[in-house]
Chain A
Amino acid sequence: MQRGILDEEALEEYVQERVITTTFDKAVAWARGNAMWPATFGLACCAIEMMSMVSARYDTARYGAEVFRASPRQADMLILSGRVSIKMAPVIRRIYDQMLEPKWVISMGACSSSGGMFANYAVVQGADKFVPVDIHVPGCPPRPEALMYGILKLRNKILGEPDLGWRDQYEGHGTEEGLRSERAGAISVERAGSAPADGRLVGTATPTAEQLATEARMLAAAEDAQRPISDDAGVPGPDRDLA
């Protein structure tokens, strides 16, 4: 879902509907997550890889996606595999509306996630312009294993244990966009690039006063010159000196 679609209250409600609390809910979620039946929705090349995924080598039946239901009323999951053309978009929306709750949408491939390589008049630049998408699977076309990984991620989401994002796994908090300096594009190279002393990865070191001062100076200089700060401004190195 894109940012800004739901405001605070509606967002809270949206999240609450999706957080599993009771044991019964957990049991229901387990049943749903292990038996997601996709609707046959092959649009273009990704459909062939989806068919490969169903076939013997990359069998998805073992994960519960046993039958591809032709009727949307009997399907849980809509795998949008392929480019969404402007003529097809209303049809997809109608099929999505015909599906019964709970339903999920996986946008398979680059074309349905974002328009892919086709930035032109005929392709909708992202299926999430008209259907709510749960999982985007990148690739052109994604390998069957990649799509299966997407289905498993969706399953984890349904089970109430959504996969950790990379910031949790690699302790990358503090690099979110809102925390950067207000002028978008002014990346603090020193802060982002400094490796913490105890060997952890990026970005949790709190900036020192010196670094903050440098940053403020760079901002002020850029404001005066009204030009964007280049990447290597202020980085001490053999050939450049910190002016």
Chain B
Amino acid sequence: MSLYLSAVKYNLRFNLLPHIVAAAGLLMLTPVLFGITALDAMTVSYPLELSLPFLGVILLTPIYSSEQEPGTLDAVRVRKTPYLLICGIRIIMAAVLMFMFICGFVLLMSAMESEVSAAHVLAAFANAVFLGGLGILASAISGNVVIGYMVPVLYFVLDLMGSLGSFTMFSMMRHGTMDNKWILLIIGICCIAASIWSRYISMKRE
């Protein structure tokens, strides 16, 4: 147990801190850009679907970036603590933080008299997991965090400027429905799992 706590502590201190700052920056910027006061059930979806999904990109995509530096993975591989376990702890921490950030933001919206509910928290979380899942998978496969950032951003732009049917992230904005969010959540979780598998393969191969 102390091993896990130690991993959590070091991850928070050396890996996650700049990304937490970036996520906090996004949350502070969102009300400035969109406004979160007295929004009705339809218009709450603008900040939730346009801005909050990037929490996933910020927190999940760089999970493997520390070991993508040349030589670092070799050093990690000879350690006693399983590398994938550390990655799992990082992913869980990122997901918990993401959920807390989204809950906090939705609570703030509620305090500002916007029509939000628990369902909005889950919908925003599904979007964030989906976009972050795309990022972490692209990062794991390519071995480069910048590609990990580009893939979800590209998906976001394609979806925003066109529409990707059942896989759209903007169902609340466009149709006022959350029906497809569970699909996005499952895809996002599968992407995260596939990224771990990809790292496992690269550990074996290298």
Q: Do chains A and B interact in one complex? A: no
Binding site for B on A (CB under 8 A): none
Binding site for A on B (CB under 8 A): none
